[in-house]
Structure 1
């Protein structure tokens, strides 16, 4: 662990998706993003240069297989922990991820809560490791693996309160509304520009935290309105 915050490298071939994941990570206490990579080559280079504690790793990369990236990272002197984030659900891919030591496997698309609970579990396990006794028992070993399990629903709900500041304002405005809101509604409610509100709403929607509704009028383009995805 480097200082108080665990350092994270985010790897995803889609720049927009990567930005959503960055916002999610930085919304969880005890974590900070130190870099982004969008190719397998960049992921390996940045992992060796930045020495992150954790890598959020997509499998489908334009120049290679993300799991081969994991294999390459394991050959470095201080390999990071890896959390796989992928749309792949076939057993062969999941099995390889497990065999390579992935601490978690999150299926896309996912919301903030799904990532927050796993990041929190990972951090708790890392903190326990730093307090490892001189003569560990089986109970000490069991504790590490127990801590890696996702949090309870109540804990997940609590993590939603720790979104990055502006993202949190947008999310909270939606949460407190009984009706679907537009970007203009959000902008007026919390005092930001419509463009800024739309950017954060798009991030939340891409991250599966909110639901987009298209409302068609008699003329013109459909109006985009958003509601919080209830869990």
Structure 2
């Protein structure tokens, strides 16, 4: 479970953020603050994984809290949630390593996308990276992202399969996906494993009252990057 803290001075807005957060699996709100001082205290006490941070907090700025936790070396990820859309605020958030930036008002779909993307890209502290993975991480997004295709995976088929899954906008079994994109089950399994490794799709196991369980697959928001990416 990913531990979340929130700093938001508007009580009505924080209520909607709580409701949104409850609808996304895998996240737990462990602290809510309405001032910078209270927010910093909760960060020190609760050690959250993720901070949802407003910028305009009374007469203070959430950017000051962001700078302080970075100066303290706190290993906490931050999503800025704010009506501030000026260049200075956006650039400062980027420079201080926010993982996403939501401009109020926003939809639940965009909120959910931010959390799902964060969860998909979240690091394990024991994780190590190859040069290609580091390059992809630091130069990710749109056409700047570069994928290395393993042997047996072609660009054209990978794009076709992923587009079929993304266009479905729902969970599909391997049989359903095979029929939609006209690919054999044997070949499809290779692409499914590749997409899972790249965290482009999500897979869940469905148990039945009788018979063997089966898997369903769904495209993650990150799949959009793959469809625009470069390949080596």
| TM-score > 0.5, shorter chain as reference | yes
Matches within 5 A, 1:56-95: 56-95=52-91
- Decide whether the 8 Å contact of 1:7 with 1:52 is kept in 2: yes
Residue 26 of structure 1 and its aligned partner are, at CA, apart by 2.0
Answer yes or no: is 1:14 the counterpart of 2:6.
no
Can you list the C-alpha shifts for 1:83-121, whole angstroms capped at 9, x where unaligned? 001101111111111111111111000111101111111
Answer yes or no: is 1:132 the counterpart of 2:132.
no
Can you list the C-alpha shifts for 1:164-215, whole angstroms capped at 9, x where unaligned? xxxxxxxxxxxxxxxxxxxxxxxxxxxxxxxxxxxxxxxxxxxxxxxxxxxx
Residue 139 of structure 1 and its aligned partner are, at CA, apart by 2.1
Answer yes or no: is 1:46 the counterpart of 2:42.
yes
- Decide whether the 8 Å contact of 1:81 with 1:103 is kept in 2: yes
Q: Select the structure with the greater relative contact order (CA < 8 A; seq sep ≥ 6).
A: 1
Residue 62 of structure 1 and its aligned partner are, at CA, apart by 1.5
Task: State the structure with more CA Rg.
Answer: 2
SS of the residue corresponding to residue 43 of structure 2 reads: helix
CA RMSD of aligned residues (A): 2.7
In structure 2, the CA distance between the partners of 1:53 and 1:138, relative to structure 1 (3 Å rule), is same
Matches within 5 A, 1:1-231: 5-126=1-122, 128-130=123-125, 132-133=127-128, 136-144=129-137
Any unmatched runs of 5+ in structure 1?
160-231
After TM superposition, the runs of 4+ consecutive aligned structure 1 residues lying more than 6 A away are 146-149
Paired with 1:15 and 1:79, the residues of 2 have a C-alpha distance of: 27
Question: TM-score, length-normalised on structure 1?
Answer: 0.58
Residue 75 of structure 1 and its aligned partner are, at CA, apart by 3.0
In structure 2, the CA distance between the partners of 1:63 and 1:50, relative to structure 1 (3 Å rule), is farther
Matching residue of 1:186: none
